[in-house]
Amino acid sequence: MPNSMSFVFGSHQRMKDLELRIGSIAHSGLPVLIEGESGTGKEALAELLHEASGIGNGFTRIICRKSGPVIYPAAAPINGAADLSYTYPRTRGTVFLKNVHLLTPAEQEQLMAAFELVAESHNLVDGSQAATRLISSATESLEALVSRRELKADLYHRLSVYRIHLPSLRERRKDIPELFAYMVRKAANGSGAPPPATPRLLDALMAYDWPGNLRELLNIARTYAVTAHPEDILTELTNRSRLRPLAFEPLGVRESLKEQVKGASQKLESEIILRTLERHHWNRRRAAQSLQISYRSLLYKMKSCSLRIQTQTSAEGKREL
């Protein structure tokens, strides 16, 4: 989520622990490796670490691609090319190496050479700190790449002096209401924020799997900031759920488009009901009120979705069976 919003920690325990350590990590000057799925906020976290470090120089992005790295801002070329062995040692401030798992063998050699140049130029042997801070990110496990000999072990250990793993949005569903509200306020930009999300919309947001993580949630928040219509978002989430890859279908089994759409809609409805029940500690009356349906309708839908009814004492003093 570069240049789009600040990094938001939320209430997930892993994120709360990270928030407590962010100052010491930023001021340590150590190389940091940030791992996580695409869209989990790795670049936003790198920018936060740069800002919190107090380094007065700039934030340089080097985006690794299979066709070669792209450097922002552009570095001065040497002999017609600006490779990593030239760019990294000559950059002051923070260098953010994005998608480091895509480094080619030649680029890995360049980066190893750059580490040596930085160490020599800043005399790191006596404990002084380099003027260049390296933060890298990856959406794939670098340990797995090392085990497959696709990444040099020495380079991995240099990049991952301090490792941070950002959880996916699916792992921190309880943060979604806070994150969504924050993103909507930012997207509105003082032009009149839309009404808060309805309970039904929040249930749908928490039930959705978010393959695009925070980046996808940000796009939905921007849409809501413009339309202010929960039904538009509910329709969009339903459509996106239908586009999920279907499970493997045995040979000879065929379903019509109508049947597949019906099945996808039922699956999303089941997920929304389940998340709502969990949010209300399986109090079915409160869940029905949140979903804006009758208590009898909820019982019918739970039965049709094959949701197990948990035995639990409700707030009304009755035992739900």
Question: Does 252 have pLDDT greater than 80?
Answer: no
User: What pLDDT digit, counting tens, does each position of 210-246 carry?
Assistant: 999 999 999 999 999 988 888 889 888 888 886 554 3
User: What pLDDT digit, counting tens, does each position of 105-159 carry?
Assistant: 988 998 888 887 766 665 443 344 445 788 999 999 999 999 999 999 999 999 9
Task: Match 């997920």 to its residue by tokens.
Answer: 271
Edge-to-edge strand ranges of the sheet holding 162-165:
70-72, 59-63, 93-98, 132-138, 32-35, 162-165
How deeply is 285 buried, as exposed, middle or buried, from its count of CB atoms within 10 A (0-12, 13-18, 19+)? middle
- The residues that bridge with 320 in the sheet, in sequence order, are 312
Helix axes 230-242, 213-227, angle to 10 degrees: 140
Q: pLDDT value at position 93? A: 83
> 3-class DSSP state for residue 70?
strand
User: What pLDDT digit, counting tens, does each position of 56-91 carry?
Assistant: 678 888 888 877 667 665 544 444 345 676 666 666
On whether the pTM is more than 0.75, the answer is no
- Identity of the amino acid at 287: A
What confidence tier does 24 reach under pLDDT thresholds 50, 70, 90?
A: very high
Distance CA 309, CA 53 (A): 51
- Domains of the chain with bracketed CATH: 13-167 (3.40.50.300), 172-244+255-320 (no CATH)
* Residues shown for the chain: 321
What confidence tier does 47 reach under pLDDT thresholds 50, 70, 90?
A: very high
Percentage above 70 pLDDT, the chain:
74
**Cis bond upstream, residue 199 (ω within 30):** no
Least reliable range by pLDDT among 58-62, 273-277, 304-308: 304-308
* Vertex 126 angle, CA 124 and 132, to 5°: 25
Q: pLDDT value at position 115? A: 81
Helix (H) / strand (E) element for 273: namely helix 257-279
Least reliable range by pLDDT among 5-14, 38-47, 77-86, 266-275: 77-86
DSSP state of 310: P
Would you state the structure tokens that stand for residue 227, as one six-digit string? 């339309």
Q: Which residues contact 125 (CB under 8 A, 6 or more apart)?
A: 119
Percentage above 90 pLDDT, the chain:
35
